[in-house]
């Protein structure tokens, strides 16, 4: 058994089931080890951003890490943008990166670069394996570290992959993820009881079904309101689940919405801040006078912390979830707009659908429409790094092959990692991609109009418009092997979405928006 | 005038003409300044790897930097892989990266990451602007640093872009690039005279026409042989120019080829090393006994150094360039193979063509065929980071609108940055992309066979084959607005290549290789 086989056996023994990969010569021993060691499926991405984004989607759905296999510094660099989103979503991801042989690296061959510095920009845990003796332990520690909702990056030189290993090297070291801090719980309970008006701000596993059940108990006791950040990892949503409000993207609305709470308990989330610094507007949504309490730290379990808080508050064990204020969205009619596209999806999405939203401006109106939709999972662009949607949908579909994935996808962002379509085709994944074709970087145009700019010169137009030529999405999608169709009416979208939901493989629908 | 306008005016005053950009909210003031300050054309890339690769191609053709404009850490990260190639090619590139407002960054908003650490992995010069007073000087220093064949990365916070500036801030500081080290020249001349058999190893500007003219003088005097690394920046090649030999990719051939030289003078190149570390094969191509002399340092002018060396050797001023050993390649016939594709291009490429080669395995046989082709420029994947070809061809075409660009392009690598096709369509660039469609990562299969592996399991097959489904290149290309056709015979390729050369805009030809 060589080092590569030891590495893969360790991963397999720890329950890793999928490896999203784009390997090169320095990873060949690991590629071969994936053949000889059964139990881990290798899935090719045509670009590393597809691999890391898919690992993000997989991790958000399963709560456990997928492995990625990436080629040296440039390969890892191509995956950074989507790892940034995974980091902000606190998704467990396990990166394995090949490295030149230790004896060859000092020769500074063409592909050599500073891989460790690259990995540190997005990883909570980084190590370059230094010997075959520690390799299995390195891998175990990497897996443990990722389990706490971090990116782990293990760099493995080629000669260590090839070195002869002893079987005994595979070892345990399972991570523990059930601790809570009793003092934090007690203090939060005290402050919430004393508050005039309190809120819970939830992200990560706090937005899972058990997390929301505990939050619902607290809400039933104290009439606290439930919020999520503007962009978060994944929320369970729909009938029978509480309607968690998103903090609005633009700061004026966000500040206004949260201004009335004197105590905000933050669970697996960051303090809310504006997405960008706008001159004349404060960067923190909450004032210094509003009390902010953090219920748990990185290595503590937010679900157990919320349950402990509910217990500490003597909250009812099984409160009734209040009905959503509005009935289910109704199908609109006529020419397609961004708003009507949102209504159509909200009206038709089936139970257990996974919605991966990178609609950017086109998706602004979608979320509030779905409180009365059947239960579903809903993901957002947690770190704001565009190009996460298609890969994330791919990974979510790998994680949940029995659930349909609807990727509500802005056109400009889609073009960042459009290669994900091919992986969907190859793996026969049930992903329905809805392209919001508005042929512009609309968010930039919105920000320009906020800054008082409404007419552009040639350069500003060149950098904000995507027409001339327009992308032919049907042709592009078919080029990657995914059947595609374009629609410009609600009726067309409804028909094609129903077809896509009834079939099993991937499908792309270009929504030509007015 | 605000900081953004000062920045753009400084760039314009220093002769920057093109900005390859994908901007976000933090770069809006610079986008607007590109409108109000005339003289710099903004060109949109749909993904930052397109922008940085295009800047590489532009810099290789012109010897001066293009500007890129990139959005925060994730935007820069997407451009790293192609900047890695630019760094290895010693291409001047000037990156401008927006950053959150200085007062907002401590709030750690979602898109915040460690931009400086990212930029350092590929840049020779990095700075975050700290005030409006130093901004123009920062930009000048960045431009100077890039002029020495480096990547410069200037990070500009949003509030400094918006700060009020005084006109006086625009300043000179032109860089000087004509020094040589007389001691190095004298020593090299002595050692070459004393050598039994000497060689010149050339890269960067040493491979330009004046560099090669000086090298030809030296060859005429001492019968020295001329080499380039396996992968280099850009060589001028064809009739009337010396036939510079490339060092082979696989180490056995490289070691054998260079074993007979006792003195190797290295000009703007690195010591040759194997591309990867192969067990049992030494990493350095040259032995310790072979003398290696470096003719110039980073900030010295390799062309002047070669001319000074020729003078020191009393070499003839205008030697006759020896005729290439073989006549021009002849058009083959029949079903298309990689070898026949190479022959077809060598036979048909017109005078002044720019050949951007990312053919990987399919291009192995091309280079030796072109010593007798009409004079042309030829570029390679200098850093080995795949996905450089299409963006580099795009930037080369922007730099040289009156010359046809032929991008000889592997299919696997093309899929990394295929979005470049759209920029070619939008700008009407005369780029003919020849896709070597072998539907596999052939280089990995070759490396596997070198390691004795000939039959694969499911995982190794999944990670090395690109069929199931095959990419439909014609459909993909049309999706981006570039006319396309597929051919599987030499006759078809010759016909379509002639059409592409006769027309003016971009065109893609899928070469379905047997």
Chain B residues within 8 A of A121 when measuring between CB atoms: 73, 77, 113-114, 117-118
Nearest CA in chain A to B383: A110
Spans of all domains in chain A: 3-169, 182-312, 338-512
Question: How confident is the model at residue B174, as a pLDDT?
Answer: 63
Question: How confident is the model at residue A450, as a pLDDT?
Answer: 86
Q: What is the pLDDT of residues A99-158, one digit of tens each?
A: 999 999 999 999 999 999 999 999 999 999 999 999 999 999 999 999 889 999 999 999
User: Please, what is the average pLDDT of chain A?
Assistant: 95
Distance from CA of B304 to the nearest CA of A (A): 26
3-state secondary structure of B75: helix
Contacts of B212 (CB under 8 A, 6+ apart): B202, B206, B226, B235, B236, B241, B242, B244
Q: What are phi and psi of A154, to 5 degrees?
A: -110, 120
Question: How confident is the model at residue A73, as a pLDDT?
Answer: 98
Distance from CA of A169 to the nearest CA of B (A): 24
Question: How confident is the model at residue B147, as a pLDDT?
Answer: 86
Integer Cα distance of A85 and A136 in angstroms: 28
Contacts of A421 (CB under 8 A, 6+ apart): A390, A433, A476, A477, A480, A481, A482, A506, A508
Residue B458 in contact with partner chain A when CB distance is under 8 A: yes
Chain B residues within 8 A of A382 when measuring between CB atoms: 110
Contact A273 B104 (CB under 8 A): yes
Nearest CA in chain A to B249: A110
Question: How confident is the model at residue B168, as a pLDDT?
Answer: 59
pLDDT at A323 over 80: no
Of B319, B369, B317, the C-alpha closest to B341 is B369
- Which of A5, A17, A23, A25 would best serve as a mutation to test chain B binding (most B beta carbons within 10 A)? A25
Q: Tell me which architecture the domain covering A338-512 has in CATH.
A: 3-Layer(aba) Sandwich (3.40)
Integer Cα distance of B415 and B390 in angstroms: 10
Max distance between CA atoms of chain A, in angstroms, equals: 69
Of B307, B278, B284, B287, the C-alpha closest to B295 is B307
- Average confidence (pLDDT) over A42-63: 97
Residue B163 in contact with partner chain A when CB distance is under 8 A: no
pTM for the predicted model, two decimal places:
0.97
pLDDT at B122 over 80: yes
Question: How confident is the model at residue A325, as a pLDDT?
Answer: 74
Contacts of A502 (CB under 8 A, 6+ apart): none
Strand partners, A357: A408
Residue B442 in contact with partner chain A when CB distance is under 8 A: no
Q: What is the pLDDT of residues A372-389, one digit of tens each?
A: 999 999 999 999 999 999
Chain B residues within 8 A of A117 when measuring between CB atoms: 117, 120-121
- Which of A462, A470, A477 would best serve as a mutation to test chain B binding (most B beta carbons within 10 A)? A462
User: Please, what is the average pLDDT of chain B?
Assistant: 95
Integer Cα distance of A419 and B416 in angstroms: 8
3-state secondary structure of A279: coil
Residue A468 in contact with partner chain B when CB distance is under 8 A: yes
Nearest CA in chain B to A23: B463
Residue B444 in contact with partner chain A when CB distance is under 8 A: yes
Nearest CA in chain B to A446: B25
Question: How confident is the model at residue A297, as a pLDDT?
Answer: 81
DSSP string, A429-441: --EEEEEEE-SB-
Chain B residues within 8 A of A44 when measuring between CB atoms: 462-463
DSSP string, B334-401: SB--HHHHHHHHHHHPPTT-EEEEE-GGGGTTTGGGGTTSSSEEEE--TT--SS-HHHHHHHHHHH-T
Integer Cα distance of B143 and B66 in angstroms: 10
Residue B440 in contact with partner chain A when CB distance is under 8 A: no
What b/e sequence results for A396-426 when a residue is b if at least 16 CB atoms lie within 10 Å of its CB, and e otherwise? bbbbbeebbbbbbbbbbbbbbbbbbbbbbbb
Q: What are phi and psi of A38, to 5 degrees?
A: -80, 160
Q: Is domain A3-169 given the CATH code 3.40.50.970 in the classification? A: yes
Fold matches, B3-169 and B182-312: yes
pLDDT at B235 over 80: yes
Q: What is the pLDDT of residues A179-232, one digit of tens each?
A: 899 999 999 999 999 999 999 999 999 999 999 999 999 999 999 999 999 999
Question: How confident is the model at residue A175, as a pLDDT?
Answer: 62
Residue A391's pLDDT band, with cuts at 50, 70 and 90, is very high
Q: What percent of chain A has pLDDT over 90?
A: 91
- Average confidence (pLDDT) over B45-49: 98
Tokens for B512, please give them.
């379905």
Residue B467 in contact with partner chain A when CB distance is under 8 A: no
According to DSSP, the β-strands at B234-237 and B376-379 are antiparallel
- Average confidence (pLDDT) over B395-422: 98
193-222 in chain B: CB under 8 A from chain A:
none
Of A179, A235, A236, A229, the C-alpha closest to A199 is A229
How far out from the chain centre does Cα B389 lie?
8
Residue A490's pLDDT band, with cuts at 50, 70 and 90, is very high
For residue B406, what is the DSSP state? E
- Which run of H or E residues covers position A72? helix A72-88
> What are the C-alpha distances in Å from B387 to residues B51, B235, B392?
12, 20, 9
- Which run of H or E residues covers position A424? helix A420-427
Q: How many residues are listed for chain B in this entry?
A: 514
Integer Cα distance of B107 and B28 in angstroms: 21
- Average confidence (pLDDT) over B10-34: 96
Q: What percent of chain B has pLDDT over 90?
A: 91
Integer Cα distance of A237 and A246 in angstroms: 12
**Angle, nearest 10°, between helix axes B209-222 and B182-194?**
40
Question: How confident is the model at residue A67, as a pLDDT?
Answer: 98
Contact B21 A284 (CB under 8 A): no
Question: How confident is the model at residue A451, as a pLDDT?
Answer: 84
DSSP string, A450-479: HTT--S--HHHHHHHB--SSPP-HHHHHHH
Chain A residues within 8 A of B418 when measuring between CB atoms: 418-419
Contact B283 A107 (CB under 8 A): yes
- Average confidence (pLDDT) over A225-254: 96
Integer Cα distance of A452 and A358 in angstroms: 26
Residue A485 in contact with partner chain B when CB distance is under 8 A: no
- Average confidence (pLDDT) over B140-166: 94
CB B344 within 8 A of CB B497: yes
- Average confidence (pLDDT) over A308-320: 95
Question: How confident is the model at residue A170, as a pLDDT?
Answer: 67
- Average confidence (pLDDT) over B166-193: 81
pLDDT at B260 over 80: yes
Integer Cα distance of B254 and B353 in angstroms: 28
Integer Cα distance of A144 and A148 in angstroms: 7
Chain A residues within 8 A of B453 when measuring between CB atoms: 32
Nearest CA in chain B to A417: B47
Q: What are phi and psi of A386, to 5 degrees?
A: -75, 155
DSSP string, A211-258: HHHHHHHHHHHH--EEEE-SS-SEEEESTTS--PEEPPSSHHHHHHHH
Question: How confident is the model at residue A108, as a pLDDT?
Answer: 97
Pick the CATH number of B182-312 from 3.30.70.60, 3.40.50.1220, 2.30.30.60, 3.40.50.150: 3.40.50.1220
67-86 in chain A: CB under 8 A from chain B:
73-75, 77-78, 80-81, 84
Q: Tell me the helix, strand and coil percentages in chain A, rounded to 5.
A: 40, 20, 40
- Average confidence (pLDDT) over B410-435: 98
337-376 in chain B: CB under 8 A from chain A:
none
Any idea of the CA torsion for A347, A244, A247, A269, to the nearest 10 degrees? Answer: -130
How far out from the chain centre does Cα B8 lie?
25
Of A18, A36, A111, the C-alpha closest to A71 is A111
Residue A169's pLDDT band, with cuts at 50, 70 and 90, is low
Q: What is the pLDDT of residues A409-448, one digit of tens each?
A: 999 999 999 999 999 999 999 999 999 999 999 999 998 9
According to DSSP, the β-strands at A376-379 and A234-237 are antiparallel
pLDDT at A353 over 70: yes
Find the CB nearest A479 among B49, B447, B472. B472
Integer Cα distance of A348 and A354 in angstroms: 13
Q: What is the pLDDT of residues B269-327, one digit of tens each?
A: 999 999 999 999 999 999 999 999 999 887 789 999 999 999 999 999 999 877 667 88
CB A104 within 8 A of CB A162: no
Question: How confident is the model at residue A321, as a pLDDT?
Answer: 78
DSSP string, B101-169: -TTTGGG--TT---HHHHHHTT-SEEEE---HHHHHHHHHHHHHHHHTT-EEEEEEEHHHHHSB--GGG
Q: What is the pLDDT of residues B495-514, one digit of tens each?
A: 999 999 999 999 999 999 98
Q: What is the pLDDT of residues B312-367, one digit of tens each?
A: 999 999 998 776 678 899 999 999 999 999 999 999 999 999 999 999 999 989 99
Nearest CA in chain B to A73: B81
């Amino acid at each position: 058994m060589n080092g590569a086989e030891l590495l893969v056996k360790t991963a397999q023994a720890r329950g890793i089931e999928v490896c999203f990969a784009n390997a090169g010569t320095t990873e060949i021993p690991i590629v071969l080890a994936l053949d000889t060691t059964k139990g881990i499926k290798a899935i090719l991405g045509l670009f590393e951003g597809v691999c890391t984004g898919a690992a993000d989607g997989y991790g958000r759905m399963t709560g456990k890490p997928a492995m990625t296999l990436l080629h040296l510094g440039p390969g890892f660099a191509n995956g950074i943008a989507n790892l940034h989103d995974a980091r902000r979503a606190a998704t467990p991801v396990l990166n394995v990166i090949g490295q030149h042989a230790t004896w060859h690296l000092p020769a500074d061959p063409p592909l050599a670069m500073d891989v460790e510095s690259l990995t540190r920009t997005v990883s909570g845990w980084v190590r370059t394996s230094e010997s075959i003796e520690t390799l299995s332990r390195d891998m175990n520690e990497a897996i443990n570290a990722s389990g706490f909702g971090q990116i782990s990056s293990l760099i493995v030189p080629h000669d260590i992959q090839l070195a002869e290993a002893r079987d005994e090297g595979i070892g345990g070291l399972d991570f523990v993820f059930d601790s809570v801090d009793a003092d934090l719980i007690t203090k939060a309970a005290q402050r919430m009881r004393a508050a005039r008006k309190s809120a819970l701000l939830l992200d990560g596993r706090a937005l899972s079904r058990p997390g929301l059940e505990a939050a619902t108990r607290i809400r039933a006791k104290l009439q606290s309101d439930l919020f999520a950040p503007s962009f978060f990892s994944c929320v369970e949503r729909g009938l029978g689940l509480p309607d968690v409000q998103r903090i609005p993207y633009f700061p004026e609305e966000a500040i206004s919405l949260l201004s009335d709470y004197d105590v905000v308990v933050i669970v697996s989330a960051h303090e809310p801040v504006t997405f960008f610094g706008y001159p004349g507007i404060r960067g923190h949504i909450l004032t210094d006078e509003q009390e902010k309490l953090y219920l748990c730290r990185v290595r503590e379990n937010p679900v157990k912390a919320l349950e402990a808080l509910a217990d500490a508050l003597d909250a009812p064990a099984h409160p009734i979830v209040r009905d959503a204020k509005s009935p289910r969205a109704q199908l609109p009619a006529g020419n397609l707009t961004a708003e009507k596209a949102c209504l159509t999806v909200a009206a038709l999405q089936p139970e257990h659908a996974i919605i991966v939203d990178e609609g950017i401006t086109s998706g602004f109106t979608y979320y509030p429409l779905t409180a009365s939709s059947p239960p579903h999972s809903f993901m957002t662009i947690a770190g704001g790094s565009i190009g996460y949607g298609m890969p994330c949908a791919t990974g979510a579909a790998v994680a949940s092959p029995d659930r349909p994935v609807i990727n509500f996808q802005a056109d400009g962002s889609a073009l960042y990692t459009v290669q994900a379509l091919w992986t969907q085709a190859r793996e026969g994944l049930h992903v329905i991609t809805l392209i919001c074709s508005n042929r512009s970087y609309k968010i930039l145009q919105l920000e320009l109009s906020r800054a008082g700019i409404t007419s552009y010169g040639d350069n500003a137009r060149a950098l904000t418009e995507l027409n001339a030529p327009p992308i032919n999405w049907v042709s592009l999608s078919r080029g990657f092997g995914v059947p595609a169709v374009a629609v410009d009416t609600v009726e067309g979208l409804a028909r094609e979405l129903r077809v896509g939901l009834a079939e099993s493989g991937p499908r792309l629908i270009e929504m030509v928006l007015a």
